[in-house]
Amino acid sequence: MKPKDFLDLPFTCHLFIGITIRVALIVYGDFHDKLYDVPYTDVDYKVFTDAARHVVKGHSPYKRHTYRYSPLIAFFLVPNIRWGKNCGKLLFSVFDILVTIAVKTLVENQLGSKENTKNIPVYCALFWLYNPLSIGISTRGNADSVPCFFIILSILFLQTDIVKSNWKYALSGILLGISIHLRLYPVAFSFPMYLSLGEYKINRNTRIKDGIISLLPNLKQVTLVTSCVGTLVLLTYYMYKLYGYEFLFETYIYHLFRKDTRHNFSVLFYYSYLTMDQLTFDVVKVLAQVFEGVILFVGSLAFGTNPRTLPFALFFQAVVLVAYNSVMTSQYFIWFLSLLPLVVHNFRLKPANALFLTVVWVFAQAGWLFYAYLLEFKCRQVFILIWLKSIVFFCANIYVLGQLVKCYSPDYAFGEFMALEEKIK
């Protein structure tokens, strides 16, 4: 079968193949964990399962040391205790598949009913469905596909008419609030999503009074903010009633001041390792966060004020959040990879250039992983080399993002599907 024939299979057939791949890898993971030093199952999955075990016994999930997530994740994994150890992996894979369906629906709405673009939504969805990282993250037992699904669904309600009137903004806010409760990083998405609902007609001839009035929130923005904040407050309050301050600290406060002294992709990893016993004001980390905040703000203004460019604004935000984070592991890449299918058709990139950017990103990551393996499993003292590779990987992330910003064009749509494949040749 030719690649084009495979891509043109019915979407339901692709979903079946995607599900089969994920189930096969979950089964394979059990054998792999018994045979190899490097386990297939993510260490966090064991943490989730232990937390679920405490919940089943009527205790707090935070009795499990290093459980620093919302109690909802532990609740989701209760079937692991009652029915089987792979239930959680299957659940995360289901969310993975739901992201695929949501991506297809959202891109269909972006492109409308143009004949030239009817296959593009499927291709964008397949970009996620067959992505090795998305498959690996969910089948290894990482829960990041769950907040990713709620984020995509939030954008879907915000930018389509699946639900009419202001209810769609309320639903979008509720889903965004849930995603923030599960993971703090989507809070950065709230600003560009808010901006996308406004109408800004400010120029050098605009009077100050008119400019201020145009910046006042409209009903759509108020609905989005109210529903998002309300959902987040209600969920947080309920979990606080169940587990008290321990919930607040482990789920939120800990991550704000977290110093991960184990090796991670972050360019700040080695600095954190060297300063782990210092309790003084951390100027370096604060400066990094200030730069990150400025970039996020500028990116929101550049791409968030137009509904058509909102998906790219969120993708841009996610890459910056990951690249500048003081802690970065492979699961964080899902934050932006889940948004990439929404904009991949808008890049004016030749296949050779797209391949080059992919190679730059993958090889920079692979070099880091090699030295991390030497440290963790071969006990080699290669901290400095890991740090140098972290710098290379940071530069690779920023370079690739810069190139994507340059070639981003919201009207491109794979060149209107390469001019309908050059008029079917």
pLDDT tens for residues 199-217?
776 666 667 666 667 678 8
Residue 410: predicted pLDDT: 87
Q: Is residue 374 part of a domain?
A: no
Segment (H or E) for 213:
helix 208-215
Task: For residue 419, name the pLDDT band (cuts at 50, 70, 90).
Answer: very low
Residue 424: predicted pLDDT: 44
Task: For residue 277, name the pLDDT band (cuts at 50, 70, 90).
Answer: low
Amino acid type, 350:
K
Q: Is residue 392 part of a domain?
A: no
What is the rounded average pLDDT for all residues in the chain?
86
Residue 115: predicted pLDDT: 60
Cα 220 to the center of its chain, rounded Å = 25
Q: Is residue 419 part of a domain?
A: yes
Instruction: Report the distance separating Cα 35 and Cα 31, nearest Å.
Output: 6
| Lookup: tokens for 286 | 């604060």
What's the total number of domains in the chain? 1
Contact 337, 128 (CB under 8 A): yes
DSSP state, residue 251: I
State mean pLDDT over 366-392. Answer: 80
Residue 356 has pLDDT above 70, yes or no: yes
pLDDT tens for residues 167-199?
999 999 999 999 999 999 999 999 999 999 987
CB neighbours of residue 168 within 10 Å: 20
Best CA proximity match to 153, nearest among 114, 115, 193? 193
Residue 267: predicted pLDDT: 80
Instruction: Report the distance separating Cα 84 and Cα 380, nearest Å.
Output: 37
State mean pLDDT over 326-347. Answer: 89
Q: Is residue 393 part of a domain?
A: no
pLDDT tens for residues 7-18?
888 999 999 999
Distance set, CA 30 to CA 52, 66, 139, 172 (Å): 20, 23, 11, 38
Contact 320, 293 (CB under 8 A): no
Range with the poorest average pLDDT among 4-8, 116-120, 206-210, 389-393: 206-210
Residue 202: predicted pLDDT: 60
Residue 265 belongs to what domain range? 3-348+408-424
Distance set, CA 398 to CA 243, 265, 395, 405 (Å): 40, 14, 5, 10
Residue 224 has pLDDT above 90, yes or no: yes
Q: Is residue 375 part of a domain?
A: no
Instruction: Annotate 10-36 with DSSP letters as a single string.
Output: -HHHHHHHHHHHHHHHHHHHHHHHHH-
Q: Is residue 269 part of a domain?
A: yes
State mean pLDDT over 159-165. Answer: 86
Q: Is residue 356 part of a domain?
A: no
Q: Is residue 221 part of a domain?
A: yes
Range with the poorest average pLDDT among 112-116, 288-292, 363-367: 112-116
pTM of the complete model: 0.91
